[in-house]
Structure 1
Amino acid sequence: MAFTDASLTALRVFREVAERGTLTAAATALGYTQSAVSRQIASLERAAGTPLLERRHDGVRLTPAGRIVVRRAATVIDQVDATARDLAGLPEEHGIVRLGWFASAGAWLLPRALAELRRTHPAITVITREGSTPALVRALRAGTLDLAVLASAPPYRPLDTETPPLELHTLAERSLRVAVPDTHPLARGEFIDIADLRGQRWIADPGDRQAMGVWPGVDERPQIAHTARDWLAKLHLVAAGCGITTVPTALASVMPPGVRILPVRGGPREQRRILLARLSRPVPEPVARLAAALRAIAIETDTSA
């Protein structure tokens, strides 16, 4: 079998697996059984004459051949979809940009940047979705996102091991802080000593190995009182006196009543970088315009903070 015999369905399935990182997650997203996904991948690997995925205990990883196929698959699928629109008599969708973002960016950076882009370039349509940094990196590699706003913590390791490396631009570098109820004893001062964080009840992300939401320098096993992914839920839990949580400085402008955010003194300084990532290739004009809007808002909020 030659690779030219590969089906469009198999290419779509393969791109989904590359983005999701596991066969199970791809099957769920596509509404297929896992065995159907496995069959499509097997047919594609037969056509390619070489393995495209490395099966691992924690999911799958693209082989060098798989990286080539996923890049080409994205182009083929986009062209086929454009042809289908033309045949259906639909207008060609110029100016569409697909943007991924991590959770807290949606509270301060994303809305303002999109509003600015609508004001200056109303013909550009931006389609967005939230995700974890690893998931968004996989989506960039799979060609299902054009840009991604990502978070990075010291020691700022590469986001993945694929080649070529992603093009990265630092939008901002912000310090991590702690959100506490304004009735909490820790809220009485202008900062929190790291020793005073011992024995506190924390609100953290569920299933996060690094207990995101807990101050990284706390030298004890943290007591997780509540878990929540949604920032609004976390902050309202803090306001209700249910615990404390870490927050980026950028969220200061969206704090609900009853919450103070304070810096922490003692231990290493906890910084977080906000990165704009894309594949290393020529940038279409709509993508460049959105990137410029994101950079402008990041600079504006940095200088006004």
Structure 2
Amino acid sequence: MDFTEVSLTALRVFRAAAERGTLTAAAAQLGYTQSAVSRQIASIERAAGATLLERRHDGVRLTAAGHLVLRRATAVLEEIEAAARELAGLPAQAGTVRVGWFPSAGAVLLPRALAALARTDPAITVITREGGTPALVRALRAGSLDLALLSSAAPFRAPDAESPPLAVQTLTERGLCVAVPAGHPLARGEFIDVADLRGQRWIAGPSSGGDRLMGVWPGLDERPEIAHTARDWLAKLHLVAAGCGLTTAPASLAPAAPAGLRILPVRGGPQEQRRIILARLPQPPTEAAARVAQALRAAAIDEDAVL
């Protein structure tokens, strides 16, 4: 086992593959060909004398040896990047916190937390990015995110099966709602009966975690009629307001919803609960990350008080 000949390029490629979950995605991120990525991964595995990535039909997964090497590789790359900043005369970024968030968290929760943080801790720099749960969890494991806001549905399993388990905290738990046009017959009451959702037209988008459609009420006993598809939550809500169909929505989106629609709870049938959780690696967070986590918790509590 000899790491003395491992290049920084190989370490960066390995980190990208671990984070993105496929060699194709890592190649796209770094601007390399897939064969070049494969060669870099092979070089670091030869140096390690072990298989670091398990190749599967749906991508790659870190082996036990891969987790160990990833931790060390991330530390090395962060030190090199810090040295480059210092040499360039840039200020140290000890107060920088990297946060990932699921799509609808960017409408209300995240902006409120960042606005509050700017008032209380202006020296902390927060860098954020949107993503689905699998991508955000991989980024946490790869060390390229410090915190991740994740959405979770019952039965509320752990974000992944890797070891050690991620440290998670539930920020909110609420029932899933349905957005309806203000002039729709279902908008007349203060809730919607689940039976009245049969035969409706839906505005949906693909789930980041599988084939399940996001935006259609779960458990409908019929094949849903999809009138429009959109990934963006705000686009879905504007389509609802225009009378184009219904879509599911968390209650937390109500403050950001456009005029012309109502977001209502659903009665009858199994309860569709949704949690917002904050995840991080199990080791103690930096002081800056702890302050950002505190701001996110406070913003979530404020949302509950308003709703």
Fold in common (TM above 0.5): yes
Q: Distance in 1 between matches of 2:306 and 2:236?
A: 25
Matches for 1:101-116 after TM superposition, within 5 Å: 101-116=101-116
Please say if residues 194 and 217 of structure 1, whose CA atoms lie closer than 8 Å, have aligned partners that are also in contact. no
How far residue 131 of structure 1 moved from its aligned partner, in angstroms, is: 0.3
Cα deviation per residue 1:77-111 (whole Å; 9 max; x = unaligned)? Answer: 00001111122222212200000000111111100
The answer to whether 1:211 aligns with 2:182 is no
Corresponding residue of 1:49: 49
Summarize deviations over 1:228-274 as a string: whole Å, max 9, x none: 11111000111111111000011111111111111111111111010
Runs of 4+ that moved beyond 3 A:
none
Provide the secondary structure at the position in 2 that maps to 1:140.
helix
Q: TM-score, normalised by structure 2?
A: 0.97
Supply the distance in 2 between the matched residues of 1:33 and 1:234 (Cα, whole angstroms).
36
Task: Compute the displacement of 1:166 (Å).
Answer: 0.2
Q: Name 1:20's counterpart in structure 2.
A: 20
TM-superposed CA distance for 1:197, in Å, is 0.8
Tell me what 2:182 maps to.
Answer: 182
Identity %: 72
Residue matched to 1:153: 153
Instruction: State the Cα distance separating 1:206 from its structure 2 match.
Output: 3.1
1:223 aligns to 2:235 (yes or no):
no
CA offsets per residue over residues 128-158 of structure 1, 9 Å max, x none?
Answer: 0000011100000000000000010001111
Question: Any idea what SS the aligned residue of 2:223 has?
Answer: coil
Q: In the alignment, which residue of structure 1 is the partner of 2:191?
A: 191
Q: Using the alignment, how far apart are the partners of 1:72 and 1:300 within structure 2? A: 39
Matched-pair contact (CA < 8 Å) for 1:8–1:77: yes
In structure 2, distance between residues paired with 1:58 and 1:18: 13
Q: What displacement does 1:220 show? A: 1.2
State how far apart, in whole Å, the 2-side matches of 1:72 and 1:297 are.
34
- Residue 199 (structure 1) shift: 1.3
Equivalent position to 1:240, from 239, 242, 262: 242
**How many angstroms apart in 1 are the aligned matches of 2:200 and 2:133?**
28
Q: Distance in 2 between matches of 1:14 and 1:249?
A: 39
Equivalent AA in structure 2 for residue 153 of structure 1: A
Gaps of 5+ in 1: none
- Could you tell me whether the CA contact under 8 Å between 2:150 and 2:279 is conserved in 1? yes
Question: How many pairs were matched up?
Answer: 305
Residue equivalent to 2:31: 31
For 1:45-84, what aligned pairs fall within 5 Å after superposition?
Answer: 45-84=45-84
What TM-score does the superposition give when structure 1 sets the normalisation length? 0.98
Q: What is the CA–CA distance in structure 2 between the aligned matches of 1:250 and 1:91, rounded to whole Å? A: 37
1:139 — aligned with what?
139
Given that 2:109 and 2:299 are in contact with CA atoms closer than 8 Å, whether structure 1 keeps it comes out as yes
Q: Which amino acid aligns with 1:88?
A: A
Q: Distance in 1 between matches of 2:226 and 2:67?
A: 40
Q: Distance in 2 between matches of 1:104 and 1:170?
A: 16
Q: Is the 8 A contact 2:206 2:212 kept in 1?
A: no
**Separation (CA, whole Å) in 2 of partners of 1:170 and 1:34:** 39
Q: Deviations over 1:53-92 (max 9, x none)?
A: 1111111110000111111111110000111112222221
Q: Identify which of 291, 294, 306 aligns with 1:292.
A: 294
Q: How much has 1:41 moved relative to structure 2?
A: 0.4
Shift of 1:301: 1.4
TM superposition shift of 1:304: 2.2
**Aligned-CA RMSD value:** 1.1
Match in the other structure for 2:256 = 254
